[in-house]
Amino acid sequence: MRIFKLIFKNALRHKLRTLLTILGMAIAVMAFCVLRTVVDMYYAGLDATAANRLITRQAVSFIFPLPLSYRDQIVRIPGVQTVSFANWFGGTYKEKKNFFARMGVDPETIFEVYPECIVDPKEYEQFKKERNSCIVGSEIAKQYGFKVGDIIPMDGDIYPGKWEFVVRGIYKPRDKVTDATQMFFHWSYIDERMKQDMPGRAGQVGWYIVKIKDPSQAATISEQIDALFKNSSNATKTETERAFTQNFISGFNSLLTAMNFVAYIIIGIIMLVLGNTMIMSARERTREYAVFKTLGFSRGHLFGLILGESLFISALGAGTGLLVTYPMVSGIEALMPKGFFPYFFVTPFTLILAATAALVVGLAASIFPIQRALRTRIVDGLRFIG
């Protein structure tokens, strides 16, 4: 108990220096956690994918549409359970910054292929009856104050003109990694206008969502789908939902790698901050350690005193940083458009990394001071003037 008391008193002997060290570590740990959270949230989309879903898109690029007639051919392939489709709408709700996914879909099948989006049966039935109705995710409903019965005006860009959608339902996410920031409406609503204004764009969808019975047959069914349209002017590329998401994320790989690198550089900064404090403390206490040796303190006692002080400061800094991380992440989430990150939270893995890094830093920062204290002879220590 006396050793712990000495550790505590030593750590707080220079209160300002210790406070600044703890503050520096806290800021660094918080920055590490925030950067890691951004990286984790980009890759979290992979965890939300389903093994029994395939995505069929245009072979050249995702931005090119596919004929609606493909659906009837895909659904006849053995092993295919349900075929749905979606079409990116774009548009602007009031201001450009109000971004969230808006998609024209097949109202009969969209929630069959995405069972993780939970919608009230009565709301769903009402949604299917009205051509200009929509269902929105609970997160954007909360952000923009959407309620059942509200009208959402949109200015079209990909599909020019003024559009109005009536909210007939609000879906809830099944779990934390389910995207609750989307808006689904009837694809037929835009298709009917295209038939009048732009006949060449009618009867086209963005991509197909194919739900299969056996995930182990994903590769075989993908090949069969693509073989159907191999020689057509709209050849397809079919892949698992996970592979599709990975390809989409790959465009941000350089940015994510850079952010990951910076996050780990921050660990080095933490080590330098704490190491500097510990080296200064050890130098100032050279004579004290010599006196301790004279009084019979063993090498183990000195080892414990220095290591304990380093770990104590490290733990305080890391703990403060982790406590500040949660309100910081919540603040970023509140300021960020919901559609940019469907979900934004600190993962347990990030917390483990931060705690482990703090432990390693505490250990590493004490190595040089411990060596100095143990190697310095009593007579040299007593003569030291610092």
pLDDT tens digits, residue range 47-63? 667 889 999 999 988 88
Residues 157 and 260 both lie in one domain: no
Bridge-based pairing state of the strands 53-58 and 204-205 = unpaired
Range of 113's domain? 60-234
Q: Is 153 helix (H, G, I), strand (E, B) or coil?
A: strand
Residue located via tokens 């919540």:
330
Position 110, amino acid = I
Residues 41 and 73 both lie in one domain: no
Q: Of the ranges 37-41, 181-185, 317-321, 322-326, which one carries the lowest mean pLDDT score?
A: 37-41
Percent of the chain with pLDDT over 70: 91
- What distance in Å separates the CA atoms of residue 321 and residue 326, rounded to the nearest whole number? 9
CA max distance for the chain? 98
Q: Which two tokens stand for residue 265?
A: 């550089």
pLDDT given at position 346: 82
* pLDDT tens digits, one per residue of 214-262: 999 999 999 999 999 998 889 999 999 888 877 766 666 677 678 778 8
- C-alpha distance from residue 140 to each of 83, 328, 336, 372 (Å): 27, 21, 12, 59
Residue where one domain finishes, among candidates 176, 200, 234: 234
Q: Is 16 helix (H, G, I), strand (E, B) or coil?
A: helix
- Residue 308 pairs in a beta bridge with none
Residue 372 has pLDDT above 70, yes or no: yes
Contact 226, 88 (CB under 8 A): no
- C-alpha distance from residue 326 to each of 34, 37, 42, 107, 340 (Å): 9, 11, 18, 38, 19
Q: Is 216 exposed, middle or buried (0-12, 13-18, 19+ CB in 10 A)?
A: exposed
Bridge-based pairing state of the strands 151-156 and 161-173 = antiparallel
Q: Which two tokens stand for residue 253?
A: 């790989």
Q: Is residue 55 part of a domain?
A: no
Residues 328 and 215 both lie in one domain: no
Number of domains in the chain: 2
Residues 147 and 174 both lie in one domain: yes
Q: Is 121 helix (H, G, I), strand (E, B) or coil?
A: helix
Confidence band, pLDDT 50/70/90 cuts, at residue 34: confident
Residue located via tokens 């075929």:
83
Residue 66 has pLDDT above 80, yes or no: yes
- Residue 58 pairs in a beta bridge with 236
Residue 76 has pLDDT above 70, yes or no: yes
- First-to-last alpha carbon distance for the chain, in angstroms, is 29
Q: Is residue 246 part of a domain?
A: no
Residues 206 and 77 both lie in one domain: yes
Residue located via tokens 């090119």:
64
Contact 29, 354 (CB under 8 A): yes
pTM (two decimals): 0.69
Residues 34 and 76 both lie in one domain: no
Residue located via tokens 């389903």:
50
Across the range 121-138, mean pLDDT stands at 95
Q: Is residue 352 part of a domain?
A: yes
Residues 108 and 15 both lie in one domain: no
